[in-house]
Structure 1
Amino acid sequence: MIRLAFGLPAAALVLAPVLALAAPAMTASSEKGEILVNEQGMTLYTFDKDEAGKSNCNDKCAANWPPLMAAEGARAEGEWTIIERADGGHMWAYAGKPLYLWAKDQKPGDVTGDGVNNVWHVAKP
């Protein structure tokens, strides 16, 4: 193994870009069928009032429906895109639809946000 001057294996330099390309979510089976969940297994949602590639959930809405934020250095790939929010932050979208969590979901597998106000829906692959 090649070691760099500051003690990190050369492989660490190769892994960082690969990790940045990893999808920000995965699929899981639920009572609603196959859905998208974040790395902790929490259900992701879409909002009918969003436009393709644009989030319309800000301020109080975003406090209840936290956006799935994109880490610095994250890269879009395939159906996964990164959009800029009104506050300047960046969030993930799938197939053009911005993705959110629901503050009232307590544990992985909860889908309590589905159907809220008839405008929130579990995100599906």
Structure 2
Amino acid sequence: MRSKSLVLAALAASTLALSACGSAAPAQPAAAPVAQDAPRDQAMDHSAMGDMGGMHHGSGGVELWAVQSGPLGTIVTNADGHVLHRFDGDSASPSTSTCTDTCAAQWPPVLLEDGTQPELLGVDPTKVGVLARPDGTKQVTLAGWPLYMYAQDDGSLTTTAGQGTDGKWFAVAPDGTKAVTPA
């Protein structure tokens, strides 16, 4: 709970500092339509999630937050600071998850309960979707890529735990691309 409070405080301070800069740029880019491959990749219904300066309130206990990580730049985490990853063995078009059984024990999928929506901060809601996994659960996607956590991530945001594992696992940036470890 303490780490969640620290993350929230840091995010609030960053948001306040950025909003005080007086940038003439719009707060969020114009939303583009999401390409969907129904029924496997379903875009989230964001009509109930009002625009609050980049923060969208969901109802499912799942959080996707864009945060600054020293080693990886801006990445997506959950509210507890655990870095979210994408797997090159999956597909974004159509959204397909191939990490099951033993793989899913090491790389737990980010799951969403039926009828719920994630809370977003700094993540474009038009890029967030959901796919049906082989076991019937609903996995959250970003730009079509299924999202996972790394079981050994300590939530500190100071390490690159999981980054580049087997040359196929990468922290995900807010636009769904791979986060790149600076040279």
Counterpart among 61, 69, 79 of residue 111 in structure 2: 69
Greater Rg over alpha carbons, structure: 1
Aligned Cα RMSD in Å? Answer: 2.1
Deviations 1:45-65 (A, max 9, x none): 000000121101000000000
Matched with 2:90 is 50
TM-score, normalised by the number of residues in structure 1: 0.79
Matched, 1:105 2:105: no
Q: Aligned pair count? A: 109
Identity over the aligned pairs, expressed in percent? 31
Give, in whole Å, the separation in 2 of the partners of 1:102 and 1:123. Answer: 12
TM-score, reference length from structure 2: 0.55
Which amino acid is the alignment partner of residue 86 of structure 2?
T
DSSP 3-state at the match of 2:86? strand
Q: Match for residue 65 of structure 2?
A: 26
Moved over 2 A (4+): 17-24, 74-77
Mapped partners of 2:99, 2:75: distance in 1: 21
Runs of at least 5 residues in structure 2 that lack an aligned partner in the other structure: 1-47, 50-57, 119-124, 175-183
Deviates more, 1:103-112 or 1:24-33: 103-112
* 1:88 is aligned to 2:130: no
2:67 is aligned with what amino acid?
A
Structure 2 match to 1:14: none
